[in-house]
Structure 1
């Protein structure tokens, strides 16, 4: 991937290019920021530029032997670590167990998030970077470079790394193999071991500019400028979210209907109906449940913004806006923080493999109490 194929982030690109030109490439770079904004794309473009045999100013050439292999993700000095799932076929998986699926996924859909990766694997489990991955990393980095100046190890979502693997990675960062560059791409850097953070040069990547998202959408979809701008605004700087809004209208409708139903039943204190609601949601995959919590958090925020008359900060579809006109008075100073905390806590408990039905029922009871405040 070339830098000119990465949406927006011109200042970040220039920082990365300057590191190479000024020969101050850190052995460990932590590229951190929100999900869905193209951090792994920046990492891929940086890695390709780093090993390009004929750099063209501020970008790789795209046609040399190294760039061609990078563009196909098959360069022998490019390595990946990413969350994987256990299955009947892969009982003790490492990233290489899924490397063919990974290449197919990334090349077919360069902008993605962890939910899409697990959906691609058809996985209804929490993925991890398991402890056995550390041995694979050590084995790969013990070899000298095959063709390039640098071996590049891209670790996508190091916060998903098992503590045993993280501790071994720390030792590698303390005494890095010669000619090795680690690119850690993180959505939640605060969940990474503090000692790993301290041994990495951090690059904070902001959300995308809405104009950059709108322009990218217009290039990819047969949509008007006004439609692209509306979808960009709804995405809140997340290109993956913008594409999902366009592509997954059915999923958004499902989440919206579930949210509306939950709030109405909770306000009416209809416990038996809420039990049925929980049972239905409990039958969904954990990834879908977590996606619902994220959707609900956004609607809670939007309804509070509407309640306090901050119309310029609203990111609602017409259907959501119609509902929120009536519902927003119930999201106020007295409950907005607690409601947000409860949905965030439910999301966190699911991440930790808590019992979904208990989590959902507890959340519904909390919502009943908070809507009356």
Structure 2
């Protein structure tokens, strides 16, 4: 869809030159990153082998891929995504596009990024190249580091939908594709409750509630505070998209109900200002600002934004 020459009702035509190249995974502006054993001698052959198998079976999993590596590439080493591969892609992205207006970077089994590679990806996401789209495919999102997850829009794809995947996806069918809103109990649920409390306290200038929340947040270590702020950035970014696209999501869980109500009386400009303030707080946190004072100061600034907008 991103590079189709003949879009019809916002759907790719499937027959133009760009669509055919993407279908064959051979478009020069499609950059593929996948877990590989740390052996340079198989690097060139591995991508061709992966393309052959993923086209035959679009639900190829990691264990199947390991068996293919062993049988066709002759190594039993554990596949991973190395920092060298991310560096290569970073260098390519500094160049002009080959033929399309937009580039796509697809990271398959993104949870297999090693620590150094994850940090390089994070830097790439913080300063993304123009007109470049990153797609992270993961079977276990919890294995991705929080700072990377916070910069992604998560889409849950149900299992056993190969018939639908083999066709052009219908992005309006939310039974197959849906924004993931943490319906299971997890640390994200706790963060969402705090985010909800914080936004309500700032909007209503509830000092007592804010003080209780500040005491709770300040008990967290630096990384915990950082993760919470990134979580809030992720949610406010989703609110921005919700307002811009004016789209009703199928889910009616607690999170989506709050987001709909929260966005109903807010302008996009207000959300952008909130985002900027929270992003600034992360900047000061990384320079060793006191988290308790920082959170209080940040909350007062959010008071003003809600008041003035």
The bucket for the TM-score relative to the shorter chain is: 0.5 to 0.7
- Please, which of 159, 170, 182 is the counterpart of residue 218 of structure 1? 159
**Counterpart residue number, 1:268:** 204
Question: Could you tell me which residue of structure 2 aligns to residue 63 of structure 1?
Answer: 70
Following the alignment from structure 1 to structure 2, what is the Cα–Cα distance between the partners of residues 285 and 11? 45
Q: Assess if the C-alpha contact under 8 Å between 2:35 and 2:112 holds in 1.
A: no
Q: Hey, what's the Cα distance between the residues in 2 that align with 1:281 and 1:15?
A: 48
Give the 5 Å matches for 1:208-357. Answer: 214-215=156-157, 217-218=158-159, 229=174, 232-235=177-180, 245=182, 249-304=185-240, 310-311=246-247, 318-357=253-292
Root mean square deviation of aligned Cα: 4.9
TM-score, structure 2 normalization: 0.52
Judged with a 3 Å threshold, the aligned counterparts in structure 2 of structure 1 residues 329 and 369 are, in CA distance, closer, same or farther, namely farther
Checking the alignment, whether the CA contact within 8 Å between 1:278 and 1:357 is kept in structure 2 is yes
The answer to whether the 8 Å contact 2:278/2:298 transfers is yes
Distance 1:290 1:208 in 2: 22
Aligned residues: 222
CA distance 1:286–1:233, shift in 2 (3 Å): farther
Structure 2 gap ranges (5+): 1-20, 54-67, 85-108, 139-154, 162-172
SS at 1:320's partner residue?
A: helix
Listed as ranges, the gaps of 5+ residues in structure 1 are 1-9, 19-30, 32-38, 82-109, 119-154, 160-185, 198-203, 221-227, 236-241
Shift in Å, 1:326: 3.1
2:43 to 50, 53, 78: 50
Residue 41 of structure 1: which of 13, 34, 45 is its match?
Answer: 34
Q: Distance in 1 between matches of 2:286 and 2:112?
A: 15
Equivalent pair of 1:300/1:331 in contact (CA under 8 Å): no
Aligned to 2:135: 207
TM, length-normalised to structure 1: 0.45
Do the aligned residues in 2 keep the contact of 1:300 with 1:340 (CA within 8 Å)?
A: yes
User: Residues 303 and 324 of structure 1 are in contact (CA less than 8 Å); yes or no, is this contact kept in structure 2?
Assistant: yes
